[in-house]
Structure 1
Amino acid sequence: MGEDELAEIRRRKIAEMQQHAAIQQQEIDRQQQQDAQMQMALMQILEPEARERLNTIKLTRQDFARAVEQQLVMLAQNGRIQNKITDEQLKVILQQVTPAKREFNIRRRG
């Protein structure tokens, strides 16, 4: 391989890496914009105490909290939420959405 060929390969590789980085940045920007829109919608449909509770849940169960947020925004967009959701109402919603825990009983034969 000549030096010209190596320079061309390097140039292509750099261009490819720059394109990949630009695509990643676009994805990050899109995700941040979606998050900002969701937070604005949640501010409109949740009272401060309920929003605080949801943020606390997000610290420990991020996927679950994200699913609840999406569900609340979807309900609001469909017009199924008329007033702001209080903390007590959010507790009821969370209890309904939380999957039932399975109990295991271990018995020893004696």
Structure 2
Amino acid sequence: MGDDELADIRRQRMMQLQQQQMAEQEQVQRQQAMQAQIQNVLMQAMEPEARERLNTIRLAKPEFAASIEQQIVALAQSGRLRQKITDAQLKQLLTQIVPQKKEFNIRRVG
């Protein structure tokens, strides 16, 4: 291989890396824009106490909080929310979604 061939290969590889990096940056920007849009909808659809509770849930269970957010956004976008979600309503929603824990009582005989 000559120096010219190596230079061409390097240039092509650099272009590929730059294109890949630009695509990744665009994807990150789209995700950030979508997250900002979700947060905006949540600000309009929820009272501060309910948003605070949801943020606390996000710290413990991020995937669960994301699914709750998606449900609230869907409700808001479909027009089924007539008023802001209160903390009590969010609690009620959470109890409906979270499966009830089963209790086991172990008794010793003897």
What displacement does 1:79 show? 1.1
What displacement does 1:75 show? 0.6
TM-score normalised according to structure 1 size: 0.91
In the alignment, what sits opposite 1:67? Answer: 67
Q: Matched residues in 2 for 1:4 and 1:50: separation?
A: 64
**Structure 2 runs not aligned, ≥5 long:** none
Q: Matched residues in 2 for 1:14 and 1:32: separation?
A: 27
Give the CA RMSD over aligned residues: 1.9
In the alignment, what sits opposite 1:39? Answer: 39
In the alignment, what sits opposite 2:23? Answer: 23
Counterpart amino acid of residue 66 in structure 1: A
**Structure 1 runs not aligned, ≥5 long:** none
1:3 correspondence with 2:3: yes
Change (3 A) 1:93 1:6: same
In the alignment, what sits opposite 1:50? Answer: 50
Q: Percent sequence identity over matched residues?
A: 57
CA offsets 1:64-110 (integer angstroms, 9 cap, x no match):
001100100101111111000100000000111113445567789x9
In the alignment, what sits opposite 2:13? Answer: 13
Counterpart amino acid of residue 10 in structure 1: R
Q: Matched residues in 2 for 1:5 and 1:102: separation?
A: 69
Number of residue pairs matched by the alignment: 110
